[in-house]
């Protein structure tokens, strides 16, 4: 989706103002800690996947996405998923009173004793698929000019641009389908673009941008 | 527009809403409050950029380990015990006198948690995500990093589950140092690529 999250190349956002590395805390407020942990713990209920989680944060008015702080966007995304999956209701949110529900999900609840193992294990997304890769290192490819309304990991600034395949990463879960609950593998490539291809020949200094792109995003030149 | 102020001064309304949501989920038995504390403690106190510093310092002193990192970064990094969430598929990109690597995620905040912990605010901020792929040289200057005109910048936009760790150049005047002596020179920012590693004079 062409949302407020797709920021590559946007102007007018001001300076970066990084906090000095030695002074920056991991969290700036207690509520950020809670949103972070609630998001991870709720994810272990397995009612949505990582791409659906990303998509839930993207599905906001672009002005809201940009105005919110990072963990406010996480909160908004989590709330949306909880409502959509029926895990909490609007009236519970309004009243603050939980309505007991029969659920098999309690089996999935992440126990404190399982946190370390679950985090060390993670969730690999590589897959074995039948079709061989269409492209190999050194091939010139053009990024398709597509504008899906759903979740995609194809940034707008790369669409229609020509690049060179730098690496084939194997097949990974395809986010565009995964966000719709369909887990399918597609070949993934690191594709290199020149700054002049992306931004025009007036770019101040030449540089390269490497973007990971799935095969359905690419076409032969 | 600078959203930096919003990052540090959120309305207290958010605080209340988050508290209410946590109570609901705990009351419904969907989350275990002890697990929340454990998750926070893990990523606030136990998993952070000192892990990545171990990887880098080892690569500087051990050519075989460095070759393994280039070949299969996920396995090489796992050999030090750093695995899992948001680091399932690792790639290490090496700085040289002629190539400088910089990592960004323009679409969200993808970042290699097992080796760097959770990302800093600036990495997740709109200005960094917008500009790193369009004007990296100026971005680096904002971090005080000036590169020669003969140095090519390679920006890595983390659009997939591949996670990138920059292997900075070993600082001058550290030949013969041990991995333990080198580790403090490896900053978080040098492993994202916005700065170089510290030199013996500026630690």
Rounded to the nearest angstrom, the minimum Cα separation between B124 and chain A is 7
Q: How much is the pLDDT for B1?
A: 39
Of A16, A69, A208, the CB nearest to B10: A69
Q: Is the pLDDT of residue A128 over 90?
A: yes
The residue among B160, B185, B186, B197 with the most chain A CBs within 10 A of its CB, best to mutate, is B160
Q: How confident is the model at residue B4 (pLDDT cuts 50, 70, 90)?
A: very low
Q: How confident is the model at residue B18 (pLDDT cuts 50, 70, 90)?
A: very high
As a whole number, mean pLDDT of residues B81-105 equals 98
Of A6, A30, A33, the CB nearest to B107: A6
| Structure tokens given for A44 | 């272990």
Q: Is the pLDDT of residue B173 over 90?
A: yes
As a whole number, mean pLDDT of residues A113-126 equals 97
Ordered structural domains, chain A, with CATH:
30-121 (1.10.472.20), 126-220 (2.30.30.50)
Q: How much is the pLDDT for B203?
A: 64
Chain A residue at shortest CA distance from B20? A96
How many angstroms separate the CA atoms of B47 and B201, rounded? Answer: 28
Q: How much is the pLDDT for A184?
A: 98
Domain with CATH 3.90.330.10 in chain B: 48-192
Chain B residues in contact with A92 (beta carbon < 8 A): 24
Q: How much is the pLDDT for A101?
A: 81
Answer yes or no: do B187 and A21 touch at CB < 8 A: yes
Output the pTM of the full model. Answer: 0.95
Q: How much is the pLDDT for A201?
A: 81
The CATH architecture of the domain made up of B48-192 is Alpha-Beta Complex (3.90)
Answer yes or no: do A42 and B87 touch at CB < 8 A: no
Chain A residue at shortest CA distance from B192? A21
Q: How confident is the model at residue B93 (pLDDT cuts 50, 70, 90)?
A: very high
Q: Could you tell me what percent of chain A has a pLDDT over 90?
A: 91
Of B18, B31, B107, the CB nearest to A155: B107
Which residues of B participate in catalysis according to the annotation? 105, 108-110
- The per-residue pLDDT of chain B, averaged, comes to 94
Q: How much is the pLDDT for A88?
A: 95
Complex ipTM, two decimals? Answer: 0.97
3-state secondary structure chain B: CCCHHHHHCCCHHHHHHHHHHHHHHHHCCCCCHHHHHHHHHHHHHHCCHHHHHHHHHHHHHCHHHHHHHHHCHHHHHHCCCCCCCCCCEEEEEECCCCEEEEEECCCCCCCCHHHHCCCCHHHHCHHHHHHCCCCHHHHHHHCCCCCCCCCEEEEEECCCCEEEEEECCCCCCCCCCCHHHHHHHCCHHHHHCCCCCCCCCCC
Q: Is the pLDDT of residue B3 over 80?
A: no
How many angstroms separate the CA atoms of A125 and A171, rounded? Answer: 8
Q: How confident is the model at residue B156 (pLDDT cuts 50, 70, 90)?
A: very high
How many angstroms separate the CA atoms of A148 and A143, rounded? Answer: 14
Q: Is the pLDDT of residue B43 over 50?
A: yes
Tell me how many residue pairs between chain A and chain B have CB atoms under 8 A apart.
279
Chain A residue at shortest CA distance from B3? A67
Predicted confidence (pLDDT) per residue in A186-208, tens digit: 999 999 999 999 999 876 668 99
More confident residue, A52 or A99: A52
Answer yes or no: do A157 and B15 touch at CB < 8 A: no
């Amino acid at each position: 989706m062409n949302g407020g999250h797709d920021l590559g190349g946007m102007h007018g956002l001001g300076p970066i103002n990084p906090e000095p590395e030695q002074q920056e805390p991991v969290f700036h407020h207690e509520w950020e800690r809670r949103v972070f942990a609630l998001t991870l713990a709720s994810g272990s209920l397995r009612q949505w996947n990582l791409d659906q989680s990303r998509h839930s944060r993207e599905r906001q008015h672009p002005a809201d996405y940009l105005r919110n702080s990072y963990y406010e966007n996480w909160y908004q995304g989590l709330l949306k998923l909880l409502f959509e999956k029926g895990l909490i209701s609007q009236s519970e949110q309004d009243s603050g009173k939980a309505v007991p529900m029969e659920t098999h999900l309690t089996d999935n609840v992440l126990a404190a004793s399982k946190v370390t193992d679950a985090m060390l294990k993670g969730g690999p997304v590589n897959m074995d698929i039948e079709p061989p890769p269409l492209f190999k290192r050194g091939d010139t490819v053009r990024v398709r000019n597509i504008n899906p309304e759903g979740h995609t990991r194809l940034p707008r600034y790369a669409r229609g641009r020509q690049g060179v395949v730098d690496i084939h990463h194997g097949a990974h879960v395809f986010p565009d389908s995964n966000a719709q609950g369909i887990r399918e593998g597609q070949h993934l490539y690191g594709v290199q673009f020149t700054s002049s291809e992306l931004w025009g020949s007036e770019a101040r200094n030449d540089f390269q941008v490497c973007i990971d792109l799935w095969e359905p995003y690419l076409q032969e030149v | 527009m600078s959203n930096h102020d919003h990052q540090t001064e959120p309305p207290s309304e958010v605080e209340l809403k988050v508290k209410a949501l946590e109570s609901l989920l705990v009351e419904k038995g969907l989350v275990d409050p002890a697990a929340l504390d454990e998750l926070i403690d893990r990523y606030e106190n136990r998993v952070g950029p000192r892990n990545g510093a171990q990887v880098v310092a080892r690569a500087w002193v051990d050519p075989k380990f460095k070759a393994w990192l280039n070949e299969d970064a996920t396995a090489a990094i796992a050999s030090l015990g750093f695995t899992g969430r948001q680091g399932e598929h690792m790639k290490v990109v090496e700085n040289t006198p002629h190539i400088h690597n910089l990592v960004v995620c323009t679409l969200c905040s993808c970042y290699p948690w097992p080796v760097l912990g959770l990302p800093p605010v600036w990495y997740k901020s709109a200005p960094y995500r917008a500009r790193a792929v369009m004007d990296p040289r100026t971005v680096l200057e904002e971090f005080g990093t000036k590169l020669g005109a003969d140095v090519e910048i390679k920006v890595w936009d983390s659009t997939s589950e591949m996670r990138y760790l920059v292997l900075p150049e070993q600082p001058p005047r550290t030949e013969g140092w041990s991995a333990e002596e080198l580790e403090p020179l490896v900053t978080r920012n040098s492993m994202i690529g916005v700065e170089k590693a510290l030199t013996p004079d500026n630690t």
